[in-house]
């Protein structure tokens, strides 16, 4: 069987590209004797990776033209359409999903789209109907995404497959120690890290305020490593970023990412409003034995309570986060214990061979009847 593989790949600066590169290698190892070709035009079944940004424009178009198996890295495609379509096409797509009665709602959402990154209303309308109905099967990474797909296409074939973790070649210990020294972080200071592309939904403002609340109660520092999705957000957070104990670094390539990941003692990776995504950063940091603080929700319901720390969204978020940060900074042995549980869970359920096998089963279920698998 020949599989077409459609996705952004490195050097594209996106988590989906990194994920797809790892999956491609794992799939080829699992499906030895079968061909998996990037951007193939004559495959027996195609695998399309979709996310909620413009890097996926051509992949989305191809998935509609030649239906195959679609991986939804984000189960809310609303922002994708806001950035891809003009007003007329957006209204048409919205009403295709939710009925002619919703046109006035859609028009209002279009007019207010500048606030779409933080307004929960935009996350209530995933706009999945066309791709879910058209595709032969849908792959998601968590139960929240599966429910969103089911709401838009009751008869869709849905496969829930854990987010893949590919164990990296990690930097050496002396490099990690040297980086902490360069950052001015002592061995007695618990270093929290926030990684990735910073949008409003990453809750960076709440994280910075929680850090300011907690830092006088325990020895802690906060590393912010990544880039902002908008200059407006960067400007609004600049005063908070200038606080004592906060270290801001720009986006870095893969090896430098892992060096920073090893240097932190815990990771904060909140998401609200959520888009049905399973965070690659969460899986990566858990995979190397770091405790990760995540937002409570169905997106993380498969993660055991002993393997991560779940923070409620809403009014309790900031105080709850500050309390957890103080606890981990005061009792670093507890942080290390949570990290060990995290690594064990990821090793059992997110291993490349296990995930690739589940993908291959989903793909072969869609193979032509006369095609050997």
CATH of the domain at 283: 3.40.50.2000
Q: Which residue has the tokens 């990296």?
A: 168
Domain contains 82: no
Q: Are 143 and 194 found together in one domain?
A: no
Residue 371, pLDDT score: 62
Q: Which residue has the tokens 């495609």?
A: 77
Domain contains 59: yes
Average pLDDT for residues 308-320, to the nearest whole number? 97
- Residue 363, pLDDT > 80, answer yes
Q: Are 341 and 355 found together in one domain?
A: no
| Joined tokens for residue 293 | 């603080």
Q: How many domains does the chain have?
A: 2
pTM: predicted TM-score of the whole model, two decimal places: 0.92
DSSP3 helix / strand / coil % (the chain, rounded to 5): 50, 15, 35
Domain contains 370: no
Q: Are 304 and 360 found together in one domain?
A: no
Average pLDDT for residues 190-194, to the nearest whole number? 98
pLDDT digits over 261-283, tens only?
Answer: 999 999 999 999 988 889 999 99
Residue 43, pLDDT score: 95
Residue 54, pLDDT score: 87
pLDDT digits over 123-173, tens only?
Answer: 999 999 999 999 999 999 999 999 999 999 999 999 999 999 998 899 999
Q: How far is CA 13 from the centre of its chain?
A: 13
Residue 117, pLDDT score: 85
Average per-residue pLDDT for the chain: 94
Contacts of residue 140, Cβ cutoff 8 Å, sequence gap at least 6: 71, 72, 75, 146, 149, 158, 159, 160, 161, 276
Residue 372, pLDDT score: 59
pLDDT digits over 42-87, tens only?
Answer: 999 999 999 988 889 999 999 999 999 999 999 999 999 999 999 9
Q: Domain range holding 38?
A: 2-77+126-164+351-364
Residue 370, pLDDT score: 55
Domain contains 191: yes
């Amino acid at each position: 069987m020949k599989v077409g593989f459609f996705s952004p790949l490195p050097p594209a600066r996106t988590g989906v590209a990194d994920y797809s590169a790892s999956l491609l290698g794992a799939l080829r190892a699992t499906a030895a004797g079968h061909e998996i070709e990037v951007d193939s035009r004559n495959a027996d079944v195609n695998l399309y990776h979709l996310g909620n940004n413009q890097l996926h424009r051509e992949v989305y178009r191809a998935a509609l033209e030649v239906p195959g198996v679609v991986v939804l890295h984000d189960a809310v495609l609303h922002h994708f359409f806001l950035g891809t379509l003009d007003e007329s096409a957006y209204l048409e797509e919205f009403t295709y999903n939710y009925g002619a009665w919703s046109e006035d709602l859609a028009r209002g959402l279009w007019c207010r789209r500048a606030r779409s990154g933080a307004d929960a209303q935009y996350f209530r309308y995933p706009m999945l109907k066309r791709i879910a109905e058209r595709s032969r099967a849908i792959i998601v990474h968590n139960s929240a995404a599966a429910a969103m797909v089911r709401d838009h296409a009751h008869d869709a074939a849905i496969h829930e497959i854990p987010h893949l973790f590919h164990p990296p070649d990690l930097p050496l210990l002396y490099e990690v120690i040297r980086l902490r020294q360069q950052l001015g972080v002592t061995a007695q200071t618990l270093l929290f890290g926030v990684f990735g592309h910073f949008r409003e939904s990453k809750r960076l403002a709440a994280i910075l305020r929680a850090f300011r609340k907690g830092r006088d109660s325990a020895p802690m520092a906060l590393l912010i490593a990544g880039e902002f999705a908008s200059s407006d957000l960067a400007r609004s957070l600049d005063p908070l970023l200038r606080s004592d104990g906060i270290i801001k670094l720009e986006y870095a390539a893969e090896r430098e990412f892992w060096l920073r990941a090893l240097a932190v003692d815990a990771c904060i990776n909140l998401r609200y409003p959520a888009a049905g995504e399973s965070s690659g950063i969460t899986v990566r940091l858990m995979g190397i034995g770091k405790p990760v603080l995540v937002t409570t929700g169905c997106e993380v319901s498969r993660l055991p309570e002993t393997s991560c720390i779940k923070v409620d969204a809403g009014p309790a978020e900031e105080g709850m986060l500050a309390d957890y940060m103080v606890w981990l900074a005061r009792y670093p042995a507890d942080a290390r214990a949570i990290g060990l549980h995290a690594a064990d869970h990821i090793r059992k359920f997110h291993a490349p061979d296990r995930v690739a096998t589940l993908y291959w089963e989903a793909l072969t279920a869609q193979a032509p009847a006369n095609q050997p698998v």
